[in-house]
Homo-oligomer: A and B are copies of this chain.
Amino acid sequence: MTAAQPSRLQFGAFVMNTGSHMQHGLWRHPEAKQHTFDDVNLWVDLAKTLERGRFDTIFFADVVGVYGGAGASFDVNAREGMQLPSNDPSMLLSALAISTEHLGLAFTSSILQEHPFTFARKISTIDHASGGRVGWNIVTSFLENAARNYGLDRLVEHDERYAWAEEYVAVVGKLWEGSWDDGALLADKASGVFADPTKVHRIDHVGERYRVEGPHLSSPSPQRSPLLFQAGSSGAGKAFAADYAEVQFMMAPSIEAARASAESTRALVAETGRDPRDVKFWQAMSFIVGSTEEEAKRIEAEYDELLSADAFLAHSNLGTDQATGKPIDPDTPLKDVETQGGHSMLEALKALSPDREPTVRDLAKLTAKLRGRVVGTPEQIADHLAEWRAAGIDGINVANWMIPRSYEVFVDEVMPVLQDRGLAQREYAPGTLREKLFGAEPTLPETHPLRAYRGAFAGR
């Protein structure tokens, strides 16, 4: 298999079905509409805007609990709308599918929240409905409250969560890749054969956590397995990504850190026997755009006024002790706090204030700036993105300050400049999301481990 390596960057819109996803406090801006996230039309209109701008995907982050330790107060979360309330992103996808033609529809779903038999069918349904445009961001949940919403006493230990994810991915992979052979579905009115029974199989999965008989209830969708996104940055997370991910998300603090991280993951990918070109690396960034640098800086100052330190602190998952739920003194040095994943900002913070030990309070203040904020004119932004592309980064997951305004500005003012420089596509490639991003076949490449389930259940 040869994966084409386009010189353009790929673009995702990094959103969440909630009022305050990452840039907390901005929902209060007069032009912001993210507080109306209950309204499906906010998302339908956004998807149309993104397709007009030739974005590759809309990508929904998600969590299935509130930030804060076990039993902690979630007063700040509620008051700030900090990912509370939030809605299920998967339930929006068919509306977005019929409102667009090309836009990829990617969403986050945790192994905690759905049984793999249910999840596999859900994905097949929406991949059918969208003509093969679905992506799945595989996550394991890192919030104590999420664990306690699903009957666990506390969060499963980090590496054990990845072992759980391995089995989860195996179950859904068996259903997507192995349960139905190519050509099983006939729907032939003349012969009266709907599906060829010799090509439909039980999977008889028996594992540590799941026993699943099958067959998969849905026939193979255009992509079979959805495009697989992954964002883990720990050792276990990177190993998992090397095995399965087709797009790896990053929130690297610098181009050099991103390049190093991508290169180390590519090496891991090659060790598994996969082609390293079968994994794309997307960096999260947010943009503040002005027609002049001065205007951009003025807007930046305006946004900074609205930023809520309380919400950033709660979002850092450091506002309370994870085990006891007790509040943490914001002057506590970060090095003394048990982190439990969920933020990768510590090293960057140390780099920003090398002269003193960063505290919990510093994290809250600096998170917004650290999250790949780029401020400038469209030309300056294009210059900056060209550097990331030159460093081997394949895509940018564009976070927002305001929905839909941040994307309207990006589409109308930045995209044309990027297109002129060959850094962004002017038209979509044909086919499924996987074909659009890789220029190859609609289903997983031969060397992907889930492909091993193709034909594995013949005779069952």
A positions within 8 Å CB-CB of B = 17, 19-20, 25, 27-30, 32, 35-36, 38-41, 44, 64-66, 71, 73-76, 78-81, 84-88, 90-99, 113-115, 117-118, 121-122, 124-126, 128-130, 145, 148-151, 180, 184-185, 187, 189, 192-197, 200, 210-215, 217-219, 221, 308
* A194: contacting residue among B27, B64, B194, B210, CB under 8 A: B27
Asked if B94 contacts A211 (CB within 8 A), the reply is no
- Assess A87 versus B197: contact at CB under 8 Å? Given A64-B118, A97-B40, A98-B95: no
- 14 extra interface residue pairs, beta carbon distance < 8 Å, beyond A40-B128, A87-B125, A115-B150: A35-B187, A36-B187, A40-B94, A66-B217, A78-B184, A78-B196, A79-B193, A80-B192, A85-B218, A86-B218, A87-B121, A94-B96, A98-B99, A117-B150
Distance (Å) between the CB of A319 and the closest chain B CB?
Answer: 14
User: Top 4 A-B pairs ranked by shortest CB distance?
Assistant: A81-B194, A94-B95, A40-B129, A75-B197
Among A65, A149, A187, A195, residue most surrounded by chain B Cβ atoms (within 10 Å): A149
Q: Which residue of B lies closest to A40 (CB)?
A: B129
Q: Which residue of B lies closest to A175 (CB)?
A: B149
**A87 CB contacts on chain B under 8 angstroms:** 121, 124-125, 128, 217-218
**A130 CB contacts on chain B under 8 angstroms:** 40
Asked if A212 contacts B149 (CB within 8 A), the reply is yes
Asked if B88 contacts A122 (CB within 8 A), the reply is yes
Asked if A195 contacts B128 (CB within 8 A), the reply is no
Distance (Å) between the CB of A295 and the closest chain B CB?
Answer: 23
Cα(A85)–Cα(B93), bound, Å = 21
Q: Which residue of B lies closest to A221 (CB)?
A: B38
13 A-B pairs with CB atoms under 8 Å apart are A19-B194, A27-B187, A30-B189, A32-B189, A74-B197, A78-B194, A78-B200, A84-B195, A85-B185, A91-B93, A91-B129, A93-B94, A149-B212
**A44 CB contacts on chain B under 8 angstroms:** 98
**A90 CB contacts on chain B under 8 angstroms:** 91, 122
**A218 CB contacts on chain B under 8 angstroms:** 85-88
- Assess A114 versus B125: contact at CB under 8 Å? Given A98-B98, A194-B20, A218-B87: no
**A27 CB contacts on chain B under 8 angstroms:** 187, 189, 194
**A210 CB contacts on chain B under 8 angstroms:** 151
Q: Which residue of B lies closest to A117 (CB)?
A: B149
Asked if B113 contacts A118 (CB within 8 A), the reply is yes
Asked if B187 contacts A19 (CB within 8 A), the reply is yes
Asked if B215 contacts A66 (CB within 8 A), the reply is yes
**A74 CB contacts on chain B under 8 angstroms:** 197, 200, 215
Cα(A195)–Cα(B89), bound, Å = 20
